[in-house]
Structure 1
Amino acid sequence: MHHAMTLQERSAARAAELPGAERTQQSTGDWETWKVGGKVFMLQTAMPGEPVVILKADPADVVSLRVAHREITPGYHMNKMHWITLHPGGGLATELVDDLVTESYLLVVQGLPARHRPVDPETFRRTLPRS
């Protein structure tokens, strides 16, 4: 991760680039929420002592992501099968953070009725640059 940008700043910057993404603040607590089509795809908060990012993830990828990266743990206050938490620490590449934010967004977009989708998830995936 580039040292000039924190994990939360990087994930927020990527989320802001996604069509139809909206940032809101929860009315209770210190949670920032990003939604698409009214559904949450990313949350940011501070766990005791550290700012974290919580993302939706494909259940098929959740365990392997946690095994491969010590900075990725089960979703904080979320369904552990469908959500992951990213922790700061410098071990996550910027490209991985961008990919995880994008994938979380697309998983939520896929669940929206077709008429409410800001993008076609499959077309959008194919147009993403590959690292």
Structure 2
Amino acid sequence: MTPQELRDLCLSFNAAVEDFPFSPEISVFKVRGKMFALSWIDAVPLKVNLKCDPEDAVRLRGEYPGLVTPGYHMNKRHWNTVVLDGELPGRLVRELVEDSYDLVVAGLPRAERLRLDRA
């Protein structure tokens, strides 16, 4: 996956925006002000931090050692760092990004979720 493909995927979700609150090199993708993905967009290999269900996070780390690791500079129970160097199946990467977005949306106040449904 290229940086542009990651950016396009993250921005394809309803109300998703890209922000740079930490530095110009770190893309933060948010929905309604809440982060669902964080990437060092120019890093080689490309990496992204994604929110994950704690049980799934541990399982993924075991299934893909070295490619899925505890979230760098994040709550390691809820976040994974995913290496996007082409070794992980593209479908899995898309599912992980979508799951991260869905987890963040599920944690939004009901009124915010309803606004997303109408958009």
Q: TM-score range by the shorter chain?
A: 0.7 to 0.9
- Does the C-alpha gap of structure 1 residues 95 and 37 become closer, same or farther in structure 2, counting only changes over 3 Å? same
Q: In structure 2, which of residues 97, 101, 106 is the aligned counterpart of residue 110 of structure 1? A: 106
Q: Distance in 2 between matches of 1:80 and 1:119?
A: 30
Q: Structure 2 vs 1, CA of residues 79 and 27 (structure 1 numbering), >3 Å: closer, same or farther? A: closer
Q: Contact between 1:11 and 1:101, CA under 8 Å: does it hold in 2?
A: no
Query: Contact 2:25–2:42 (CA<8 Å) still a contact in 1?
Result: no
**Alignment: residue pair count:** 115
TM-score (norm 1): 0.78
Counterpart of 2:77, as a letter, is M
1:35 to 30, 38, 41: 30
After superposition, the Cα gap between the structure-2 partners of 1:60 and 1:47, relative to the gap in structure 1 and judged at 3 Å, is farther
1:99 aligned to 2:95? yes
Q: Which residue of 2 is the match for residue 51 of structure 1?
A: 46
Distance 1:37 1:75 in 2: 22
Return 5+ residue gaps in structure 2 as ranges. none
What CA RMSD, in Å, does the superposition of the two structures yield over aligned residues? 2.1
Runs of 4 or more above 6 Å deviation: none
Structure 1, gaps ≥5 residues long: 121-131
Kept in 2, the 8 Å contact 1:45–1:52? The answer is: yes
